[in-house]
Amino acid sequence: MLFCALSGEVPQTPTVSSKSGHIYERRLIEKYISENGTDPITGERLTEEDLIPIKTSSQAAPPRPATLTSIPVILHTLQNEWDALVLEQYTLKQQLNAVRQELSHSLYQCDAATRVAARLLKERDTAREALASVQATLGAPPSDTPPDVEMPAGGPEQSGPLPVDVDALIADTQQTCAALRHQEEKAKPPASYATANQIRNFTSKHTIPSLHSTSPVGIAALAVSSVYPTQFITGGNDNVVQVYDQETSKVLATLKGHTKKVNHNLKPRLVISGSVDKTVRIWSHDSSSGDFAPAHTVKIHKGEISGVAVHPTSTLLAVSSLDKSYSIHNLSTLQSIFHSSPAAAAYTSLSIHPDGALLALGTSQSTIHIYDVRAAALANGFHLAFPDTPSTVSVWDLRKTKKVTSFPLSGSDGAYKINKVRYDASSQFLGVSGPDLRIFAHKTWEELIKLEGGGEIVDFAFGREAHNIWAAVGREVKIWAEKDQ
């Protein structure tokens, strides 16, 4: 017996689809084709020409419809309504199946999200326990927040002073350093300090190769420890900070956390790094285990970090950024105590005077801003060296607001691009790096020596008492010193 695939009833005028082979009541399938143009079962394209009538006994055929006023016509109208109801019921069944599938998919997603949330909560609790353990080891007060958080901008804006205790500490440091400097100006440098003749005899002593990864290649920042003369840190284009001991030829620590290249490094009591990812990360050293652990992350700037410097008090950190602002942070409490208002141009470099009272900031408009750290106001100071063009170094006497000297640099091909300008600790020697590294004598400005690194020297540092010089070239760190050292 034949049954219609739509109504499930015995068809009065059966027909079969030449494409799918399903049997339909002819009037039902023709209505469906006129509305949709497809096979209701397979969804394939279907026309009335694709329908093949099935021949049955003429005795089983229904009587021909009578006139419009007869009872058979009424029955025929009811039959049409029934056909419409059957088609609607079929459509509803299809929609019901689609809704069931969507609901099943949503329930699966909800279950997966619940599992992920539970896993993240477990990882968070584990991280908090690890943080509490690190803080207990460091002797720091416990905190409910993880270390990788934004420092709250709790300090006043540029028009206000620093906290009273910080202001007093800076004033005491300035007086002490000024007194020492005054004594040093009257006396010669310590007998153990390097002389100009010794620097003239510097030669390549050691090369440390293969630092950081090969892709992307290169060291972007270098800093030498003031406590351990053989230890230095490097920041690379591979987003990693490395602590290295030249005496033992070992990497003491590989510090990860930055998401972009590290272009500034400092190492007083802490390892501090500034990055293109707009953050400054601070790692603390555990003397018992010898490991470095994350202590804090400064995330208040909206532009790339262009400079970091530790104040002579060793308790304050200054940070400059391409977002046209600079900030000061307390390294003891790991809190932000000052964030300046936006300047007219982006700050591209930063340095703190050895007395601790003045802060120098270079801008993208080729100007230098000198601020009194305590008042956050422009002020005068002493000598300041900086590149006023890509290949020219100028030295200013800030007490007289007057340029002392200016000297251009040129390379073998005539061009010279300055990467770094830096004084040694005694301010006797001025170093300038670019295609090579040149050391000048302060006041006379005589070029004492030109050191070739075999590539672009992106950063350098004077060693203890200027008896050696460390420089970053590609993936290498080169060391120059006297021949007998």
Tens digit of each residue's pLDDT (9 = 90 or more) over 337-359: 888 888 889 999 998 888 788 88
140 in any annotated domain: no
> In whole angstroms, what is the distance from residue 222 CA to residue 208 CA?
13
Alpha helices in 263-382 (DSSP H): none
26 in any annotated domain: no
Look up tokens 């905190």; give the residue.
143
Structural contact between residues 370 and 397, judged by C-beta atoms closer than 8 angstroms? no
9 in any annotated domain: no
CA distances from 32 to 41, 46, 48 (A): 11, 10, 10
316 in any annotated domain: yes
455 in any annotated domain: yes
> In whole angstroms, what is the distance from residue 404 CA to residue 49 CA?
100
pLDDT in tens, 365-415: 888 888 877 765 555 446 788 888 888 888 888 777 788 888 888 876 777
Domain CATH number, residue 300 = 2.130.10.10
Residues 6+ apart with CB under 8 A from 443: none
Q: What is the pLDDT of residue 139?
A: 54
Q: What is the pLDDT of residue 153?
A: 44
Structural contact between residues 28 and 87, judged by C-beta atoms closer than 8 angstroms? yes
Q: What is the pLDDT of residue 60?
A: 53
Q: How confident is the model at residue 263 (pLDDT cuts 50, 70, 90)?
A: confident
Please tell me the total count of domains within the chain. Answer: 1
471 in any annotated domain: yes
Q: What is the pLDDT of residue 376?
A: 53
Question: Which residues constitute the domain of residue 215?
Answer: 164-481
CA-based nearest residue to 223, from 215, 231, 233? 233
CA distances from 144 to 127, 296, 311 (A): 11, 13, 29
89 in any annotated domain: no
Between 95-104, 211-220, 431-440, the lowest mean confidence (pLDDT) is in 211-220
Question: Is 138 in a helix, a strand, or coil?
Answer: helix
466 token code pair: 């200027």
pLDDT of 217 above 90: no
142 in any annotated domain: no
User: What predicted TM-score, i.e. pTM, was given to this entire model?
Assistant: 0.60
pLDDT of 144 above 50: no
Averaged pLDDT score across all residues of the chain: 81
User: Across residues 314-333, what is the average pLDDT?
Assistant: 89
> In whole angstroms, what is the distance from residue 158 CA to residue 161 CA?
8
